[in-house]
Amino acid sequence: MNVGPNIALVASLLGDPARASMLTALMDHQALTAGELARHAGVTPQTASSHLARLLDGGLVVTRKQGRHSYFALAGADVAAVLEGLMGLASRAGHQRVRTGPREPALRQARVCYDHLAGDLGVAMLEAMIADGRVVEEGDALTLTPAGAAFADGMGIEPALLRPGRRPVCKACLDWSVRRRHLAGTLGAALLTRFYELGWARREPDSRVVTFTALGRQGFEEAFGVTG
């Protein structure tokens, strides 16, 4: 008898195209209604409700109530990390969707992955922080160094956000487009939030694309020594 986590159950939930589209739509850390998710998936509201019920039962999404409306969100950053990893696997194996759009290059450059920066710039940021000794890489584990903590403080990140807790301070997340790792965890989330607060970057409406302003790109390059 097999024991342990039921991978097949999770795989079956992810394997349906409509449910996969819904989950992907939630990867930008927004909460969406069933109607909005139905439009993302190209299914009827009734079909969307059935899919969402299965995702709720499977622990992949949660509901949030606001007034008379119910919103759906990913159950956690670990769900987003699995989705990002599967995107990388699908890309590497050549399983691309036929439809492409003009935003594809922008998605590859910088996008939000749940609540942290992904894409070319996200990968370059992590690699620069490792090279500068702000983050130490030990196998698959990442650790924030005192130099990294000082850097975060200089960026205006509250020290309380970087204390060990239920969520790791630094976590590597496999980037589907670059096929290398970018920075997740509370530090990755805090950095992206500061980019928004500083006016360095903004989220594009109805998209995961993160667009840096000219001033923001200059600040990003100076902070992390990233050029290009």
Residues 31, 130, single domain; the answer is no
Domains of the chain: total: 2
Q: What is the pTM of this model?
A: 0.67
The neighbouring-strand residues paired with 143 are 136
Residues 167, 198, single domain; the answer is yes
Q: Is residue 81 part of a domain?
A: no
Check residue 150 and give its pLDDT: 96
Q: Is residue 93 part of a domain?
A: no
Check residue 101 and give its pLDDT: 38
Residues 106, 207, single domain; the answer is yes
Residues 44, 142, single domain; the answer is no
Residues 43, 106, single domain; the answer is no
Supply the range of the domain harboring residue 12: 7-75
User: Among candidates 170, 14, 162, which has minimal Cα distance to 80?
Assistant: 14
User: Among candidates 90, 170, 98, 85, which has minimal Cα distance to 135?
Assistant: 170
Return the number of other C-beta atoms located less than 10 Å from residue 124's C-beta: 22
Check residue 186 and give its pLDDT: 95
Residues 138, 209, single domain; the answer is yes
Question: Which of 75, 107, 132 is at the close of a domain?
Answer: 75
Check residue 10 and give its pLDDT: 86
Ordered DSSP codes for 195-218:
HHHTTSEEEPTTSSBEEE-HHHHH
Could you list the pLDDT tens digit for every one of the 228 residues in the chain?
456 677 888 888 888 888 988 898 888 777 888 888 888 888 888 888 899 999 999 999 999 887 777 889 888 888 888 888 787 777 666 666 544 433 478 888 999 988 999 999 999 999 999 999 999 998 778 999 999 999 999 999 999 889 888 889 999 988 877 778 899 999 999 999 999 999 999 998 878 899 999 999 999 999 998 775
Residues 35, 113, single domain; the answer is no
Q: Is residue 135 part of a domain?
A: yes
Q: Which residue has the tokens 């990442």?
A: 142
